[in-house]
Amino acid sequence: MVQKVLAKEKTFSWTDLNHTRVFVVIQGMIGGLAAIVHGIFAVLLGTKPAGGFVLDPATGAFTILPTYLISGIATICVGLALIVWTTGFIQRKNGPAIFLAICILLFLAGGGIAQVGFFLIAWLVSTRINQPPDWWKSDGSGSTRKRWASLWPAFFTGGYLFLFIGIAIWLVFTPPGTPLQEHMTAYLICWTSLIAGLLLQILTIVSGFARDINRYEIK
């Protein structure tokens, strides 16, 4: 009897993952954590006026809030909210819409400008978590789709490797407030890594859609 029950239990397989959701969740977590870093730097500047809705070299962000302290606290709170929402609720019916609203609040609070492009991509992809685009289905034999699906681990790993390199350089060598002229090389490497990571992430999205369609067909 026990053997029969164990035989019915479904073992975990990587093909069971919703790869589109995995991508969005990781994007939300990274974006939220990066925004929290911005918030911490703002809090450390105290009650100084933030200067209004302008790019501030002291924090590398826009803000509509009056002081660095208020901006920093708000950014930390909204960054945490983004992480919680992305990890637990993004797959729900209104999940993408609320995700976008939180990202807008984060930008206005002072969460930084570098994340905007990544947030927009993550939001667009989140609308397809439960419904991969139809264009992959036009591959009659599925051979092209299967080849792209097999490349997902390489695109995924490479994309986040470059992103983490860029983020590490930003945190260690070019944190908010670092003069551009004095650290031009570090800025160049940082942004080159981030752009390379972004391009590989686009390929990750495409191959992730392919894997998800294959998963639906298997079911």
Residue 123 near residue 103, CB atoms below 8 Å:
yes
Q: Determine if residue 175 is left, alpha or beta; phi over 0 gives left, psi from -120 to 50 gives alpha, anything else beta.
A: beta
Give the residues across from 67 on adjacent strands.
Answer: 49
Residue 127 near residue 96, CB atoms below 8 Å:
yes
pLDDT digits (tens, 9 = 90+) for 22-75: 999 999 999 999 899 889 988 988 888 876 665 556 556 788 888 889 999 999
Give the residues across from 198 on adjacent strands.
Answer: none
Predicted confidence at residue 118, as pLDDT, reads 86
- And the tokens for 171? 């945190």
Residue 115, SS3 per DSSP:
coil
**Cα separations in angstroms, 93 against 90, 106, 135:** 8, 22, 22
Tell me the domain boundaries of the chain. Answer: 18-131, 141-214
Backbone angles phi, psi at 13, to 5 degrees: -140, 145
Q: What is the mean pLDDT of residues 16-21?
A: 85
Residue 103 near residue 78, CB atoms below 8 Å:
no
- The residue to which tokens 């606290």 are assigned: 73
pLDDT digits (tens, 9 = 90+) for 169-202: 888 887 766 776 677 888 899 889 989 998 999 9
Residue 155 near residue 207, CB atoms below 8 Å:
yes
